[in-house]
Amino acid sequence: MSHGFGAALPVEDGKPRLPGNLHTNRRLSSWLAIHPDGRVTITPGKVELGQGILTTLGQIAAEELDVDFSRVTARPAATPDSPNEAVTSGSLSTQDSGSALRHVCAAARHIFLGVVAQRVGVPLEAIRIEDGRFFGPAGEIGSYWALADQALLECEAPSEVTIKTPGQRRIAGTSVPRVDLPDKVFGAARYVHDLRLPGMLHARVVRPQARGAMLTELREGPLPGDAKVVRDGSFLAVLAATEWDAEAAATRLAARATWAAEDTLPEQALLTDWLRDAATRGERSTVAARADPAPPVARTLRRSFHRPYLAHGSIAPSCAVARWEDGSIEVFTHSQGPYNLRADLAKALRRPQDSIIVRHREGAGCYGHNGADDVALDAVLAARAVPGVPVRLLWSRAEELGWSPVSPAMLVDIEADLDAAGNLAGWRSHIVSNGHSSRPGRGAEPTLLSAPFLAVPFAVPPSINPPMAAGGGAPRNGVPLYRIPAMEVATTRLLEMPIRTSALRGLGATLNVWSIESLMDEAAGLAGVDPIEYRRRHLDDPRAIAVLDRVAAMAGWADRSRREGFGMGIGLARYKNSGAWAAVVAEVEARERILCRRLWIAGDVGEVVNPDGVANQYEGGALHGVSIALLEQVRFDRRSVTSDNWESYPILRFSEVPQVQVALIDRPEQPFLGAGEASMAPTIAAIAGAITDALGIRPRALPFIPDNLAQAEA
């Protein structure tokens, strides 16, 4: 998939359109294998990140094949054997990979049944399947397993298949336990961090003290154990037989290294000023515009909203294992996009892609583009120094928080026109931000962290935004969901990038949804209308109205009573304006700082394959939103990120987790929509509204900490 954004964008290739990512990966055998011993293997190109996708895809396959779920296993994605499904991101896995696998398995069922029907002379419609066994009117007539060696799947997918109707489904639509959790709960060696290969060495990277610094001197001296130095230009690492020696050697080496550095970062206290100044040299474009007849404008609200750089806060630091042998490279990685990573490894190493094999192994969760791809190049560079020997390279906590890509700082200016009745008549907004993607595989130059430090360095390309057809980046959810006659939404992509930025859950939606919902709350107050009723007044989308009404009923919105120091707020969005719907009511308590006490969430993802899994995704996204709203911001000085530990970059603690209630509106007749990112931005918006309800002030800057709230407007 050449665009590499993880979405099944239209491909004009003259071929009949196939669902999701099947269109560009058309061979059935690349997705599915049926074995003589009764096993079924699916091979999606999407990867398990802790979101439970392999369970969901297994349910879809088992359903369409009419086999027990326990028979289905998923093979981890790897190049070149898996379908190229680009990146596991954008809440697109069920939508694009699930729809592909449903089509594949329905086609396989039809092919196998057709062969059996022809052999035994039984009409196709007279055959039923029970856990992979085929029965005709007179009894059993065959099975998938009996035909497994017939190479029946070595063909392209047909353009038309008959999939099961909602009423025929028995596995899809039920809460199946996650297949990946037992190993994780009981501490089995499942993660890439746990991988141990014979003769494996351990490596650590020595980072400079400043962005863009170059290594000018490395003094000689002893190292512990058998540790050895690996250097390529300003890339500096150590190798040792044990982790302890590698850690100690890296510490000694850091003390012997001299770097040429200078101030390259803006003043953190003046970040909004820097954003406005950099925007004058940026790349401006129009996201949406319309000019329908509108009533006269009675009042215009002019508001600005800001969010800081945000880190991923992955609990486990990034890790990779690599082996360089006879000119071939093998990498074990928790990358979200094995094919995209392979493309950038090839660029950085100046080698052909077919000399590199990338194998996915699960990592301990990520929330977008963290250090998983970067550490893979680090491991390969270290392994190049010891041909034939596997090398495991683990980042430190300081590297993960200080050097992995961060989500961009953002600024949005909004003008909202109100008519005499207080309804929206016009909307103008301008979103300023760096791009939200520096994922590998999408440009001419590699975007991996160590590439600019090599002896023959690569430039650091400014991050880009996915096209709006893939959901956009900075302007994601920047176009209001509401009915507004006149509208102009613009964005400026900054071309200066002092801190490397890329994708974090929701991308620009975290700022855009909150700013839009804040204006809706304020306009509702001026009109003297309840905030939910005001939203309903401006909505044409019945599914948006449905989640809004459901969450209002769940939270008892109409009968809520005021309590001193407490407040309730509402947030609504359809993710990317094309994905899943989420409406969130938040209750906060204002003490020495803001605490979120309760969340009610109503969601609509179309067909629900695994209700418990979808609820988990809504809950997880919402709790991530709570953490961003109340705690998170990257801190930095003029040369480096300084929030490189949990004390300086706090995230939500278990003791601070609110009560969460989720209700799903199941629409089994509708297409799949992803749940992973739908609830985060509405949660932030709901918390902001709840703060206004509790304190009478309207936050304008994330996070909603005392210092920022002191600058909020009444």
Q: Are residues 424 and 397 in the same domain?
A: no
- State yes or no: pLDDT of 30 exceeds 50: yes
Same domain, 160 and 205: no
List 357's β-bridge partners, or say none: 330
What is the enclosing helix (H) or strand (E) of 680? Answer: helix 680-695
**Average of per-residue pLDDT values in the chain:** 95
Residues 144 and 197 in one domain: no
Which tens digit of pLDDT belongs to each residue from 39-77? 999 999 999 998 999 999 999 999 999 999 999 999 999
Is residue 252 included in any domain, yes or no? Answer: yes
Query: Is pLDDT larger for residue 12 or for residue 428?
Result: 428
DSSP 8-state secondary structure symbol assigned to residue 441: T
Residue 90: predicted pLDDT: 84
pLDDT of residue 1: 37
Q: Is 156 helix (H, G, I), strand (E, B) or coil?
A: strand
203 shares a domain with 138: no
Distance of CA 216 to the CA centre of its chain: 38
Interaxial angle between packed helices 509-527 and 680-695, expressed in degrees from 0 to 180 and rounded to the nearest 10: 40
Q: Is the pLDDT of residue 344 over 50?
A: yes
State the Cα–Cα distance between residues 176 and 31, nearest whole angstrom.
22
Conformation bin of residue 233: beta by default, left when phi > 0, alpha when psi is -120 to 50 = left
Distance CA 55, CA 40 (A): 14
Over residues 626-630, the mean pLDDT reads 98
Q: Is residue 457 part of a domain?
A: no
Q: Is residue 664 in some structural domain?
A: yes
Residue 588 has pLDDT above 60, yes or no: yes
Same domain, 148 and 26: yes
Cβ-in-10-Å burial (0-12, 13-18, 19+) of 304 comes to: middle
Burial of 638 (0-12, 13-18, 19+ CB in 10 A): middle
Residue 270 placed within a domain: no
Last residue of a domain, one of 403, 421, 451: 403
Residue 467 within any structural domain of the chain: no
Q: How far apart are CA 200 and CA 191, in angstroms?
A: 16
Each as own residue / partner, the long-range contacts of residues 136-145 (CB below 8 Å, 24 or more positions apart, any chain) are 141/116, 142/116, 144/34, 144/40, 144/65, 144/67, 144/112, 145/34, 145/35, 145/36, 145/37, 145/38
Q: Evaluate if residue 609 carries a pLDDT over 70.
A: yes
Domain boundary residue among 403, 427, 446?
Answer: 403
Helix (H, G, I), strand (E, B) or coil at 166: helix
Give, in order, the Cα–Cα distances in Å from 386 to each of 26, 64, 222, 313, 325: 39, 48, 20, 32, 9
- pLDDT of 6 reads 54
Same-domain pairing of 203 and 166: no
Same domain assignment for residues 392 and 428: no
- When pLDDT is averaged across residues 188-196 and rounded to a whole number, the result is 95
Domain finish residue from 147, 178, 209: 178
- The answer as to whether 592 is a domain residue is yes
Q: Based on the fold, state whether residues 429 and 357 are members of the same structural domain.
A: no
- Same domain for 496 and 628, yes or no, is yes
Q: Of 133, 63, 53, 128, whose CA–CA distance to 93 is shortest?
A: 53
pLDDT at 4 (0 to 100): 56
On whether residue 497 sits in a domain, the answer given is: yes
| Angle ∠(314,317,322) on CA atoms, nearest 5 | 130
Q: Which of 11-15, 99-103, 600-604, 611-615 has the lowest mean pLDDT?
A: 11-15
Residue 267 included in any domain? no
pTM, two decimals, is 0.96
At 2, is the pLDDT very low, low, confident or very high (cuts 50, 70, 90)? very low
Give the number of other CB atoms < 10 A from CB of residue 471: 28
Provide the token pair at 112: 């196998």
Residue 162 and residue 199 in one domain: no
Q: How far is CA 396 from CA 243, 258, 393, in A?
A: 12, 21, 10
- Amino acid of residue 457: P
Number of domains in the chain: 3
Q: What is the pLDDT of residue 242?
A: 97
Residue 3: predicted pLDDT: 47
- For the stretch 466-519, pLDDT in tens is 999 989 999 999 999 999 999 999 999 999 999 999 999 999 999 999 999 999
CA quadruple 548, 549, 553, 559: dihedral, nearest 10: 90
| 581 lies in the same domain as 658 | yes
Which residue segment(s) compose the domain that 252 sits in?
192-261+312-403
CATH number for the domain that contains residue 153? 3.30.365.10
Is residue 676 left, alpha or beta, with left meaning phi > 0 and alpha meaning psi from -120 to 50?
A: alpha
Quickly state the pLDDT bin for 8 (edges 50, 70, 90): very low
604 SS3 class:
strand
Taking residues 25-37, what's their average pLDDT? 97
The pLDDT, as a whole number, for residue 714 is 73
Residue corresponding to tokens 């430039």: 459
Q: What is the DSSP letter of 96?
A: I
98 and 210 both lie in a single domain: no
Integer Cα distance of 322 and 566 in angstroms: 53
Largest CA distance in the chain: 84
